[in-house]
Amino acid sequence: MKFLSTRGKAPALGFSQALVAGLASDGGLYVPEVLPRIRVSAKGKVPELRELGHSILGKFAAGDPLARRIPGICERAWDFPVPLKIMPEAPDGMLELFHGPTAAFKDFAARFLAECLAAIPSSRKRLVLVATSGDTGGAVASAFHGRPGVEVAILYPRGRISPRQEKQLTAWGGNVQAFAVQGSFDDCQNLVKSAFVDERLGSGYELLSANSINIGRILPQAIYYAWASLEFRARTGRVPGFVVPTGNLGNALAAIWAKRMGFPIREVALALNANRPIADFLSSGEWKAASAVATIANAMDVGNPSNMERLRALYPSHRELISEVRAESFGDGQIRDAIREAYTRWSVPLCPHTGAAYALARRAGGSDWIVVATAHPAKFERVVEPLIGREIPVPPQLSQILEKQGSSREIPVSLNALRTALIPS
């Protein structure tokens, strides 16, 4: 399998090379040359999630030195449960992706990427650079912390993430450094992009991207959609639609890819917060990025989602896109209402991102929606607890990090400042 740039002017790469490259040299993003059709029989036992990972990701790694290591990589990366709960009414489901070490779905892909990179030799010191709107940085820090030969630098928008998210970025020490950037997530993302083409940084390190511009962040996410669709069908006899809380569009894109691979997925709906460029694009056909506005679903505060480029590459025709994908945007008030309602109806506390997805499922009506729960509500206790009127117990993996001391360096939105901090003079 080869991976091609969305802009068509960079060399095609194999699986390992695409993971190491991150962004393509023409500024585009790597996508698989084909999405293999996976044959799934409606009868028979649903394969276990990791097993499905071996067979699907094995196809993407075909011909690459990493191919034979994929089964071990999946086993080590996904050593936590991924429950699909089916609610008796409707029926609808909830796919809980927050049982990994940092209590958000980002663990799933960050741990896969870290395992893959550890299996790809390098003669140079590596620097993983990551911009985070809240949860990516923690997942990447956790996945790479303590690994030899690699440094991690996390850039996050100062004052725009929850205190518990911040702790998860800043409490690691060792090979992980956190930078509080005086700007928005889009500013952080732009800084990372310019760092990648900076010769001085590039001569000091082999630079690696752990944002969802990296194909290694998208592919593993397709596995839980594939598995959950099969599992939902086996348990209910029906074909589900997924509602995905969406920011940078990495997670939702993985759902759309899983649908293209032939898994039983009726449709994919993108739940947005007040940052609405994707919803506006679907209704107008015209792409207009905007600057990000701060919301209570902060991991979705993205005004210029980098994976738009992959989505548009997949759907050259706007008409086809809107026949398969829908998007709706919800303000903070609507998200709060959804969290209250879900607690009354389902007796589960939702994080604000998942709250937006719940709101979309309710507005769309019908049944067989799987609400994708992207983070544990205890990470956003200041928003969620007042709405549901009780305390949310903190999962053990989260409380371990919260007990540690955090430290970060504040920097302006400036490549020079970042470079000075990263290259010891």
Ligand X SMILES: *Cc1c(COP(=O)(O)O)cnc(C)c1O
What is the binding site for ligand X (CB under 6 A)? 104, 106, 134-135, 212, 245-252, 299-300, 351, 353, 374-375
Give whichever of 126 and 245 is closer to ligand X, judged by the CB atom. 245
Instruction: Collect contacts of 314-322 with beta carbons under 8 A, ≥24 apart.
Output: 314/31, 314/253, 314/256, 314/257, 314/260, 318/285, 321/282, 322/282
Rounded least distance, CB 95 to ligand X, Å? 13
Pairing between β-strand 92-96 and β-strand 84-87 as defined by DSSP bridges: antiparallel
- 3-state SS string for 24-46: CCCCCEEEECCCCCCCCCCCCCC
Query: Smaller CB distance to ligand X: residue 29 or 66?
Result: 29
Q: Quick one: 282 or 417, whose CB is closer to ligand X?
A: 282
Shortest distance (Å) from residue 75 CB to ligand X = 24
Contact 153, 130 (CB under 8 A): yes
Q: Please, what is the minimum distance in Å from the beta carbon of residue 350 to ligand X? A: 11
Instruction: Compute φ and ψ for 307, nearest 5 degrees.
Output: -80, 0
Query: Token pair of 348, please?
Result: 């589960």
Residue among 95 and 351 whose Cβ is closer to ligand X:
351
Encoding tokens for residue 65?
A: 């030195």
Shortest distance, position 92 Cβ to ligand X, whole Å: 19
Rounded Cα distance between 219 and 223, Å, is 8
- Sign, CA dihedral 166-168-169-170, equals positive
Which residue number, 339 or 351, has a Cβ lying nearer to ligand X? 351
Which of 252/296 has CB closer to ligand X? Answer: 252
Minimum distance, C-beta of residue 23 to ligand X, in the bound complex (Å): 16
Q: How far is the CB of 357 from ligand X (least distance, A)?
A: 9
Contact 19, 120 (CB under 8 A): yes
